[in-house]
């Protein structure tokens, strides 16, 4: 099995700080430059799983780059360039502490809440008579407040504005961007035989302007169904064939883990790790239409250090 990058400890020229997230490690340099390394860590239920997934970081980084470049006519974004298959370099922004989640279908978290009998999510009314994976009459925005640690929390538009988490004018702009981005992502997915089910966007402020940050339309931040056979599976009450991280969550649930107190993370067998890698590569190839070119993993840290240093000299 290929090497996977689980942790990073880089020292880039002009480095001032480092933040290590669940999946990405973000290095802050002088002149408000960020170096974001997409590791091969994988998280679910707000827990990092014990093994890395080879090439996962490359998939996330390259899919995000494709969509950031394909949507910069809609909203400015933080990205300057991708000097390494697993690295993005961009501008530091002041992050808005709200995730803009948009859902086109009753799936995942929304379906779980619906099954509990809830008919409102983040202040948005949900129609009666839906079943899991049905399409909403129109996409709904269900924001989440960004937690420093632990779970992000569902929050309504009204609560966000009332608590002044985001000024109303900026929130409205984020909503408009979210709908336009989701529409573009939906069209691009459809062209590849996929349905963009739901996703999330994160925004920041740079020079007083709302800017799209982080990743977009990746299998970590989004859920995709295969378009072919979708309606037939719905009519027959069958699970949808999907490309997302949901199958990892399902595997954990089947192994009695949902991140709850007292539960123990199951051991990940190597064959399951290989399956996860293959699913990530499959999504890359489906969504981009390109063959996946595996980066050299013989010395990942050395490769990244050299590529980033060379790129920084061009700025």
CA 269, CA 286: separation in Å to the nearest integer? Answer: 26
* pLDDT at res. 116: 97
What local confidence, expressed as pLDDT, does residue 243 receive? Answer: 80
Instruction: Specify the pLDDT at position 246.
Output: 78
For residues 245-263, give the mean pLDDT. Answer: 90
Nearest CA among 280, 294, 245 for reference residue 63: 280
Structure tokens, 286: 């489906």
With bands split at pLDDT 50, 70 and 90, how would you rate the model's confidence at 303? very high
Query: Which residues are CB-contacts of 198 (< 8 A; sequence separation ≥ 6)?
Result: 101, 102, 103, 104, 105, 107, 108, 110, 222, 223
The phi and psi torsions of 175 (rounded to 5 degrees) equal -60, -45
Q: For the chain, give the mean pLDDT.
A: 94
Structure confidence at residue 2 (pLDDT)? 67
The pLDDT of residue 194: 94
pLDDT of amino acid 242 = 85
**Mean pLDDT throughout 232-243?**
94
Q: Is 1's pLDDT higher than 60?
A: no
Residue 230 is encoded by which pair of tokens? Answer: 């979708």
Q: Mean per-residue pLDDT for 11-20?
A: 96
State both tokens at 103.
């859902």
Separation CA 72–CA 26 (nearest Å): 22
pLDDT of 158 reads 96
d(CA 202, CA 199): 10
Q: What SS3 state is found at 186?
A: helix
Residue 201: pLDDT over 60? yes
Closest-CA residue to 100 (of 159, 142, 68): 142
Average pLDDT over residues 63-78: 97
pLDDT at 45: 87
> Which DSSP string corresponds to 230-248?
HHHHHHTTPPPPEESTHHH
Dist. CA 20–CA 18, nearest whole Å: 7
Quick: pLDDT tens for 124-153.
Answer: 999 999 999 999 999 999 999 976 655 678
What's the whole-model pTM score?
0.91
**Domains, in order of start, for the chain:** 94-243 (3.30.470.20)
Residue 247: its pLDDT value, please? 82
pLDDT band at 161 (very low <50, low <70, confident <90, very high): very high
Of 157, 49, 63, 47, residue with least CA distance to 101 = 157
Residue 79: CB atoms within 10 Å: 20
So what's the pLDDT on residue 152? 77
């Amino acid at each position: 099995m290929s090497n996977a990058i689980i942790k990073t400890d880089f020292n880039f020229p002009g480095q001032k700080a480092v933040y290590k997230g669940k999946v990405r490690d973000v290095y802050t340099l002088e002149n408000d430059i960020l170096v974001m390394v997409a590791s091969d860590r994988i998280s679910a239920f707000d827990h990092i799983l014990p093994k890395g997934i080879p090439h996962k970081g490359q998939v996330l980084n390259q899919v995000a780059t494709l969509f950031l470049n394909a949507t910069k006519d809609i909203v400015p974004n933080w990205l300057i360039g991708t000097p390494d298959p697993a690295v993005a370099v961009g501008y530091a922004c002041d992050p808005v502490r709200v995730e803009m989640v948009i859902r086109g279908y009753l799936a995942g978290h929304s379906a779980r809440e619906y099954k509990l009998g809830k008919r409102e999510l983040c202040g948005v009314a949900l129609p009666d008579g839906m079943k899991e994976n049905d399409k909403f009459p129109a996409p709904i925005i269900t924001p989440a407040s960004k937690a420093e640690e632990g779970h992000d929390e569902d929050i309504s538009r009204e609560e966000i504005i009332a608590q002044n988490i985001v000024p109303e004018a900026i929130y409205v702009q984020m909503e408009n961007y979210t709908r336009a981005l989701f529409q573009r992502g939906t069209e691009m997915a459809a062209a590849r035989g996929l349905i963009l089910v739901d996703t999330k966007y994160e925004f920041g402020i740079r020079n007083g302007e709302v800017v799209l940050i982080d990743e977009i339309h990746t299998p970590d931040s989004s859920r995709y169904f295969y378009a072919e056979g979708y309606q037939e599976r719905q009519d027959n009450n069958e699970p949808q064939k999907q490309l997302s991280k949901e199958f990892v969550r399902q595997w954990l649930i089947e192994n009695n883990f949902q991140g709850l107190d007292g539960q123990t993370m199951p051991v990940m067998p190597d064959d399951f790790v290989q399956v996860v890698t293959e699913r990530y590569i499959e999504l890359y190839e489906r969504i981009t239409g390109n063959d996946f070119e595996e980066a050299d993993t013989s010395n990942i840290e050395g490769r990244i250090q050299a590529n980033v240093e060379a790129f920084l000299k061009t700025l």
